[in-house]
Amino acid sequence: MNRRDFLRSTGWFVVGATVASVPGCGDNIVPVEQPEPVGTFTFPQGVASGDPRATSVVLWTRVAARNVRDQIEVTLQVSTDSNFGTTVVDQPITATTSSDHTVRVLVTDLTPNTAYFYRFTVGQDSITGQTRSAPDAAADVQVNLAWVSCQDYAAGNYGAYRQMIVDDDARADADKIHVVVHLGDMIYETRADGFQTAIDEEFRPIALKNLDGTSRTIAAFPSGGGERAGVTFAATVEDYRHLYRTFLSDPDIQAARARWPFVHIWDDHEFTDDCWQSQANYTDDATLDEGDQTRKVAASQAWFEYIPAQLTGAGGVTGVPSDAKDFAAVEVEDADFTGPNAVNFVDEPNNVAAVGAMTIYRSLRFGKHVELVMTDERSYRSDHAIPEELTQNALFFAPRNALPLPIVNIFDQGRTANGNSPPATVLGLPNVRATSPVGTMLGAKQKAWWKATMQGSDATWKLWGNEVPLTRMLIQQIPGAPVDRVVDGDAWDGYPTERNELMAFLKTQSIKNVVALSGDIHSSFASVILDNFDSATPQTVACELIAPGISSNSLFSFFEAASRALPAGLRSLIMVDASAGGLSNFEENLNMWLAHGTTSAGAFAQSNSIALALSFADPTINPHLKYIDTNSQGYGFVKVSGTQLEGTIVVINRPIRAPSENGPGILRTATFTIPKDDAAGMTGPVFTGKKPFPLT
């Protein structure tokens, strides 16, 4: 089988745009013979485009027919005008059952920085989208990107996408979005558990409805799914396809995908919650979790079918080889992670094959000023610093949340801790990582690629599509627990040694203008990034903007739910009924705790007075955090030029009301400006709308 035949068997097609346009059929011309009536074919997940480069873009759709058939013949047309009076592509392609009737077409030979319209036609049925090629690498132009993540289908409507469209319609042409960066959690692999529970403003479960009145729920998995520790999850490729079909049935995400090209990376839920390599983490007992290599392969195949991304042949920074490669089916068996190498990259053959079935980290160039660096922070990371079973009898909110900083730091350093003489215990816990290698988020090969890409790119700005928060987020110590804790051990705070290495590399190599665009944590943050957060004299080397999730329940709601089992005094550090003081009955005291420390949060809980609480603020707690809003949904937007980056976090009204063409409305925006060559000079936030607690 040659490469072109192989591509077609997997739903991949490569077509070149013609140098001279050829006549198109036009919207007002009906073909003479169409044996099958209108409505025979549908495009139930809409259309999409992805990975725009200066001369190419990937186009995507999925076609369905009234009657079951193995092959469906589709025609793709691409034009520079919306009426398709002339076309640069007019190409027959075939959708087959082997790729779930999805098709992905890499269109080459395009003109840089040009808007294109495209349509897929079957019989008398068609669907249209628009896209845009990237500016040439030498083009001195402003680049505008949105970034998103975390779109739990049953926890909220996708109104953030509709708001993005409404907002973009109101922008000047020079500021309109060119591309949307999706940082992962495109789907959630579980159903009918805590992830899929929608909650109202007072965090009570509610039922959601779609635009057509149907319940916003996820139907049973075709295979019945797998089950572990009371969690039902996708187990087969058909299960994962079922999730993509469901999540992409939403009209708001369809409208966004039809309007802009997307650049995708995955996070955990495209495979399994808080995963590392091909390992699941549904329980706190390592003996109950197991290798999920067959699920990893199934998840990768479904992602490849439904996500328009150019992997094989993707290119990148000059002189830096691209490791990205298309999905290739492999035969694997589920195997436990055991042995001396079961902490960092696990060399068990089934794990190696499952992870190696596809490689998605890559970079894309947008004009003179933007290198977009997309990393995979799941497939090569080591196990979490603190094994889940060690947290069962400790005062943690969850196995990977609110973890003691000293334990995380020392465990993550493995056998290199304490000058290569790691302690046997840390705060009473046995040091089970004393003989382990240093923890890693990227893995050795991807880390070398990241360094080479950051160093080799001559773009003014290096925007890092970074799935999980990079900045440190500390919860200050409380009585009875005399150490600070990291909010999220599944993020870079759980892998601080490698974070220090990467940030030291930026400093020593004088690599400037690195901005991480991040998601995952279902909250809004802005931060300067230090070369070492534990240093007595840290230096600022980068910045980070974290946008909230599209629809997933917020970080605050997670802490609020977990705090219900805590003593009242500790619970009040997270949530306060401040209605007696004229404030909300669900005030996000967690914001105060993170921004100003335990004494301030405690003072507010006792007094309902923001002014009094702020008088006790501790300036040493998280001084690098410039903005905290733990209870939010929405998206991020950046405008990038040769002199500055302006980033805006857009927070929408809670996405639980009926979908609307006008969008859910904006609760607030917070805008930050980062001057070129001066990460420490980040300014903001400049607000519109209601400021988050405790800002007034």
In a domain, 620, yes or no: no
Angle, in degrees to the nearest 10, between helices 237-247 and 293-306: 40
pLDDT score, position 336: 85
Distances (CA, A) of 441 to 96, 344, 467, 497: 37, 9, 11, 10
What are the residues whose beta carbons fall under 8 Å from the beta carbon of 480, sequence distance 6 or more?
395
pLDDT confidence bin for 395, thresholds 50/70/90: low
pLDDT confidence bin for 27, thresholds 50/70/90: very low
Q: Are residues 642 and 606 in the same domain?
A: no
Q: What percent of the chain has pLDDT over 70?
A: 94
Q: Are residues 175 and 315 in the same domain?
A: yes
In a domain, 199, yes or no: yes
pLDDT confidence bin for 389, thresholds 50/70/90: confident
Place of tokens 């079951």: 68
pLDDT score, position 577: 95
Structure tokens at 66: 């009234």
Q: Are residues 200 and 117 in the same domain?
A: no
SS3 156: coil
In a domain, 624, yes or no: no
Find, among 253, 196, 184, 192, the residue nearest to 221 by Cα. Answer: 192
Average pLDDT for 390-403: 77
What are the residues whose beta carbons fall under 8 Å from the beta carbon of 98, sequence distance 6 or more?
9, 10, 11
pLDDT score, position 20: 40
Q: Are residues 255 and 362 in the same domain?
A: yes
pLDDT confidence bin for 23, thresholds 50/70/90: very low
In a domain, 567, yes or no: no
Place of tokens 């005399």: 482
pLDDT digits over 62-121, tens only? 999 999 889 999 999 999 999 999 999 999 999 999 999 999 999 999 999 999 999 999
Place of tokens 């068990």: 348
The answer to whether residues 117 and 111 touch, using CB atoms and an 8 Å cutoff, is no
Average pLDDT for 365-369: 98
Find, among 151, 147, 152, the residue nearest to 164 by Cα. Answer: 147
Last residue of a domain, one of 133, 167, 184: 133
Question: By mean pLDDT, which of 192-206, 345-359, 636-650 is the weakest?
Answer: 192-206
Last residue of a domain, one of 113, 133, 153: 133
In a domain, 353, yes or no: yes
Residue 372 CA to its chain's centroid (Å): 14
pLDDT digits over 126-140, tens only? 999 999 999 999 999
SS3 110: coil
Residue 664 has pLDDT above 80, yes or no: yes
pLDDT score, position 5: 47
Residue 547 CA to its chain's centroid (Å): 10
pLDDT score, position 1: 34
* DSSP classification of residue 575: -
In a domain, 563, yes or no: no
Q: What is the DSSP string of 17-66?
A: PPSS-EE---TT---S---S-TTSEE-TT-EEEEEEETTEEEEEEE-EES
Average pLDDT for 293-310: 98
In a domain, 262, yes or no: yes
Find, among 117, 116, 68, 118, the residue nearest to 95 by Cα. Answer: 68
pLDDT score, position 6: 42
pLDDT confidence bin for 26, thresholds 50/70/90: very low
Q: What percent of the chain has pLDDT over 90?
A: 83
pLDDT score, position 285: 63
Q: Are residues 181 and 294 in the same domain?
A: yes
Q: Are residues 443 and 360 in the same domain?
A: yes
SS3 430: strand
pLDDT confidence bin for 201, thresholds 50/70/90: confident
Residue 579 has pLDDT above 60, yes or no: yes
pLDDT digits over 594-649, tens only? 999 999 999 999 999 999 999 999 999 999 999 999 999 999 999 999 999 999 99
Q: Are residues 193 and 90 in the same domain?
A: no
Per the document, the length of the chain is 696
* Domains contained in the chain, number: 3
pLDDT score, position 594: 98
Q: Are residues 242 and 363 in the same domain?
A: yes
Euclidean distance between CA atoms 407 and 386, whole angstroms: 8
Average pLDDT for 471-488: 91
Find, among 448, 311, 457, 466, the residue nearest to 370 by Cα. Answer: 457
The answer to whether residues 277 and 351 touch, using CB atoms and an 8 Å cutoff, is yes
In a domain, 95, yes or no: yes
Question: Which is more confident, 592 or 480?
Answer: 592
Structural domain span for residue 196: 134-554+632-689
Q: Are residues 128 and 117 in the same domain?
A: yes
Q: Are residues 116 and 199 in the same domain?
A: no
State the chain's mean pLDDT as an integer: 93
Structure tokens at 110: 């395009």
Euclidean distance between CA atoms 393 and 284, whole angstroms: 11
pLDDT score, position 274: 94
pLDDT digits over 484-531, tens only? 999 999 999 999 999 999 999 999 999 999 999 999 999 999 999 999
Whichever domain contains 461, its CATH number is 3.60.21.70
Q: Are residues 298 and 329 in the same domain?
A: yes
Q: Are residues 256 and 338 in the same domain?
A: yes
Question: Which is more confident, 25 or 607?
Answer: 607
pLDDT score, position 339: 59
Average pLDDT for 229-244: 95
Residue 4 has pLDDT above 70, yes or no: no
SS3 244: helix
Last residue of a domain, one of 133, 168, 183: 133
SS3 161: helix
pLDDT confidence bin for 286, thresholds 50/70/90: low
